[in-house]
Structure 1
Amino acid sequence: MKPIKPQRLHKGDIVGICSPSGTIDHKRELFERAKSNFEQATGLRTLVASNAYAKHYYSAGTPEERVADFHELIRNPDVKAIVFSAGGDTALDLLPLLDYELIKKNPKIITGISDATTLLSAITAKTGPITFLGLEILDFADRDMPYTLESIRRMLFDGTPGEIHANPNWKEFDGITHAYTGWQSIKPGVAEGVLVGGNIQSFMQLVGTEYELSSAGAIVFFEAYKLPKKQIHKSLMQLKLRGYFDIVAGMVVGYNLESDNPEVVGNEQPIAETVLEVVGEYNFPIMQIGEIGHHVENFLQPIGAKVRMDATNLIFEIAESVVE
């Protein structure tokens, strides 16, 4: 199926903000600062959905309140893109409640991070539009984001992402111990395919459901949030047992926050070795890119778009325009 491409952004456009997962009620001041910084940095205006600050225990309101916000922004013709305020754990609640026909008739740029993986993957699988992982509003609260802003410009404004380059000023936001030293080749080779994946804890929840994006001929990417190496191994093994890797074209390993924590037994294992222990028998190329994941500047990852990877020469390219 040919992907549906949303309309590109222009300075002064309105971006809708909603909270489809975790509550930001306890982070209102932080969010307001982040929203202001985002507007100034991008030249975009924002519209905050009605229930964005809601709180239902750990979620931003009930599933019905959260899906109502999302539909409100989809219906609004003045809203040109939707950016999620933050991540969380309960975006999955919305999948059976979404009006996929409404989304299909009103394709817009939709972007989030972390467990937004579930929403974005399901929307692309069920309706066709390319969606974008790697951007949330809260990240703009207390830091400049030049690498991510350049990705926003190239991908969402200009529509010409092309080759992705490593961030020369890469750093983990909170100074957490890590062993990441830059892009690396884990298994050499070249591949091309549709980009599928995201946060591994999240997209695993979709495997075997009607919301899953097929891994057939895909470039599968993953990052993990606070998983030790043994849990990353376990997650990959679960996917392997389902036959998930039998038909993929390539793999990209992102930055895995806290997977190098020395207080956890076995975390001294290099991530390349963790991955190869599970999928080393396959012939597809594998490379690591640290600009995918939590607590780092991301480039936007266009789910459903065609990408090319060269794990031998460490080249990663978005092989088509992702907006109209």
Structure 2
Amino acid sequence: MTLLPQPVQSGDTIGFFSPSSPATCFAPKRFERAKAFLQHKGFKLKAGHLTGKSDYYRSGSIQARAEELNALIRDPEVRCIMSTIGGNNSNALLPYIDYEALRQDPKIIIGYSDVTALLLGIYAQTGLVTFYGPALVASFGEFPPLVDETFASFKVLLCGRLSEKAVEQQNLPYSYSMPKVWTDVKIDWESQSEAKPTLANTWQFIGNGVVKGRVVGGNLNTMAGIWGSPYMPEIQQGDILLIEDSLKGIETVERAFCHLKLCGVFDKISAIVLGKHELFDDKRTGRQPLDALMEVLNGQAVPILNGFDSCHTHPMLVTPIGVQGEIDFDRQSFSLTSPWLKYS
């Protein structure tokens, strides 16, 4: 059974939590800028109890991090739960999440990168559609105009502009628009004082015809940490697989793609949505992640949308996990065709 959260509106409360890295400690200026940005948009913010706390590489113990998330899940005022950033250890929380409370009060759960473990785990355990999208510090602490484009996607998809009836009737499927520019330029967060330089954007549609299927996936490296567990949704025939990564070398990316092949994933899915790879290290090969993927596929006919902006780069588009999607490779479009929000 698929569960849908309600939209989050201006005036509602967004709760934020730190399931892995302590960004509220190591990036205090960016943290404050991010809070001010969302408050200016009319949202109330509620801090998780590990805000401002650090246990070296993480925000707190496994149990403390799980309780921080559970407190927001159980809080009826909180309508959207947003991670501050990713990290490496969100999968540790999965056995301790109050899934029943989420079933009783479905709410928007959003983040990316290492938070993939929570997004997929919650979806697998409850059927609740979750959202691969911006994190508080990492995304909303960026400078304009990139942060404005990220928020525009957040607003359109999560703040109630699209009616459930219209989407159900497919009179108004939501089609993504490619941002004109993007960036993965690295600047020290605490010294950054202006907008990052950008590059002209492009998406590649490699394939023909129209594919339809359930959208599932997220950060490729993180999925390896839940693969084979009850918290990884089983890949189904016809799924559209979203995969992206950050700061990896080509040898690691090749291994991750091979893992999917060995698990039979490419035999089931209808298409791959490959997000941009932030600061990819090609090890002097001159090759990109797409090249590594094509080599691993070895002629297997899996259509690919390459360069999608739901990843570690800026701006970031929101992608619902567990909804129906459609990629038209001839018209070069990617659309959502089933509801991702519930309207009272």
**TM band (smaller chain):** over 0.9
Match of 1:226? 247
Distance in 1 between the 2:117 and 2:321 partners?
11
1:164 equivalent among 157, 172, 176: 176
Q: Which amino acid aligns with 2:141?
A: A
Change beyond 3 A, Cα 1:167–1:10: same
Distance in 2 between the 1:114 and 1:251 partners?
18
Q: Which amino acid aligns with 1:141?
A: G
Deviation at 1:179, TM superposition (A): 9.5
Instruction: Spell out the pairing of 1:19-34 with structure 2 (5 A cutoff).
Output: 19-24=18-23, 25-34=25-34
The normalised TM-score by structure 2 is 0.87
Structure 2, gaps ≥5 residues long: 163-172, 188-195
What do residues 83-113 of structure 1 show as CA deviations (whole Å, max 9, x unaligned)?
A: 1111111101101111222222121001011
Decide whether the 8 Å contact of 1:162 with 1:320 is kept in 2. Answer: no
1:295 matched to 2:313? The reply is yes
Distance in 1 between the 2:208 and 2:287 partners?
20
Distance in 1 between the 2:200 and 2:59 partners?
33
Decide whether the 8 Å contact of 1:204 with 1:239 is kept in 2. Answer: no
What do residues 217-275 of structure 1 show as CA deviations (whole Å, max 9, x unaligned)?
A: 2100111111122321211101111112221111111001122x46x232x11433221
Identity of aligned residues (%): 28
1:257 matched to 2:312? The reply is no
Instruction: Spell out the pairing of 1:185-200 with structure 2 (5 A cutoff).
Output: 185-200=205-220
Q: Which amino acid aligns with 2:151?
A: L
Structure 1, gaps ≥5 residues long: none
Distance in 2 between the 1:250 and 1:236 partners?
14
Deviation at 1:159, TM superposition (A): 5.0
Decide whether the 8 Å contact of 1:186 with 1:272 is kept in 2. Answer: no
1:272 equivalent among 290, 293, 298: 290
Instruction: Spell out the pairing of 1:70-81 with structure 2 (5 A cutoff).
Output: 70-81=69-80
Distance in 2 between the 1:233 and 1:179 partners?
26
Distance in 2 between the 1:287 and 1:30 partners?
32
Deviation at 1:181, TM superposition (A): 4.9
3-state DSSP class of the match of 1:55?
A: coil
Deviation at 1:53, TM superposition (A): 2.3
Decide whether the 8 Å contact of 1:14 with 1:47 is kept in 2. Answer: yes
Distance in 2 between the 1:142 and 1:128 partners?
32
Instruction: Spell out the pairing of 1:37-56 with structure 2 (5 A cutoff).
Output: 37-40=37-40, 42-56=41-55
Distance in 2 between the 1:168 and 1:151 partners?
14
Q: Tell me how large the CA RMSD over aligned residues is.
A: 2.1
Decide whether the 8 Å contact of 2:134 with 2:140 is kept in 1. Answer: no
Match of 2:5? 6
Match of 2:190? none
Distance in 2 between the 1:79 and 1:51 partners?
17
Deviation at 1:50, TM superposition (A): 1.4
Distance in 2 between the 1:239 and 1:177 partners?
34
Q: Which amino acid aligns with 2:312?
A: H
